[in-house]
Amino acid sequence: MGLPPKLWFQLERLKKALLSTFGTSKQNYDTSHRMCSNCRALVERGASVCPFCGEKLGSARARSSPGVPGRILGVIPIPSTATSVVVAVNIALYAISWYMTASSASAQLNPMSAMGGISGEVLLRLGAKSPYILVGQWWRLVTAIFLHAGLLHIGLNLWCLFDLGPEVESLFSTTKFVVFYLVSGVAGFLLSFWWSPYGMSVGASGAILGMIGVLIGASFHHGHLGKEYRGQLWRWVIYIAIFGLFFAVDNAAHLGGLATGALLGYLVPEGEAETRAGQNLWNLLAVLSIVIIAGSFALMALQLGQPLR
């Protein structure tokens, strides 16, 4: 007796995520089928009615040519849409912070860092996690997620995000990824602020550890295959923890993001929501997350020209 279509699809998707993450996949994507929005079963791409539940299906969306996802220089997988936007925002803010640092250094006749280091004052002005949260600048818990202190810092974080972001989007959905990324990043900086309220820190690593946590949490629902996948993910965590012992990183933010992500990955069902109400709820949460991010940067911009007190 074969597996139920929904269970088979979930196992195949997790297997694909595992193989893709560690670069071992040699299979092409199957573009001849799509998923029923009601029962989550795989059906023929051109079908108008699901043969499993009788749900009426809309027109199939256009697909790109079949094949494995492209990789930059044959190594870095090209991320899916939401991940691409997050990466672009990180790069844009790093470029802005570098320009501000260079302008300040030039005005003061100081040399620039050879590794693209960003000055602490610039990071403070652009929204780093700092004691200013104590005077009501809560938005720093959000803006700090998108700031980086140097080329090595942003390079390592974006490398991890390129790999992990598409896996979370594929396994859960784009809307859930947006919510997970913001919630785990903010949770990381909340723990960091509780642990060290007078310290300053920036970076996407709390949110990225959150993505690892999400995949770890989800793996508990997939038996032996999930256990193997979880073992690989824990290696990422161990490597990052070892790195944190030798470099000045915000370990509290890492821990907060990881724990929050693991809880979300375990509790939140994978894939798109199974009901229209559920889909509307996640769409609303994703839009709310984007509004919070945009609003936080707007509040940062309003105080950009004011003196730091």
In DSSP notation, 109-128 reads TPPPPTT----HHHHHHHT-
Residue numbers annotated as active site: 205, 254
**Is the pLDDT score of 24 beyond 60?**
no
β-bridge pairing 71-72 and 76-77: antiparallel
User: Which long-range contacts (C-beta less than 8 Å, at least 24 apart) are formed by 303-308?
Assistant: 303/137, 304/125, 304/126, 308/121, 308/124, 308/125, 308/132
- What is the tens place of the pLDDT at every residue in 45-58? 677 787 877 777 66
pLDDT recorded at residue 23: 46
- What is the tens place of the pLDDT at every residue in 170-204? 889 999 999 999 999 999 999 999 999 999 999 99
pLDDT band for position 293 (cuts 50, 70, 90):
very high
Q: How far apart are CA 207 and CA 185, in angstroms?
A: 4
Region 59-82: what's the mean pLDDT? 51
266 CB burial (10 A radius; 0-12, 13-18, 19+)? middle
**Is the pLDDT score of 60 beyond 70?**
no
For residue 32, the SS3 value is coil
Beta bridge partners of 49: 56
pLDDT band for position 141 (cuts 50, 70, 90):
very high
pLDDT recorded at residue 65: 38
Residue type, 137: Q
Q: How far apart are CA 158 and CA 208, in angstroms?
A: 9
pLDDT recorded at residue 264: 96
- How confident is the prediction for the chain on average, in pLDDT? 81
For 173-209, the three-class secondary structure string (H helix, E strand, C coil) is CHHHHHHHHHHHHHHHHHHHHHHCCCCCECCCHHHHH
Region 260-266: what's the mean pLDDT? 96
CATH level 3 topology of 79-302? Rhomboid-like fold (1.20.1540)
Q: Out of 18-32, 52-66, 105-119, 265-279, which region has the weakest mean confidence (pLDDT)?
A: 18-32
Tokens of 252: 């509290």
Predicted TM-score (pTM) of the model is: 0.74
Residue type, 123: L
The percentage of the chain sitting over the pLDDT mark of 70, rounded to a whole number, equals 74
CB 165 within 8 A of CB 79: yes
- What is the tens place of the pLDDT at every residue in 127-136? 999 999 999 9
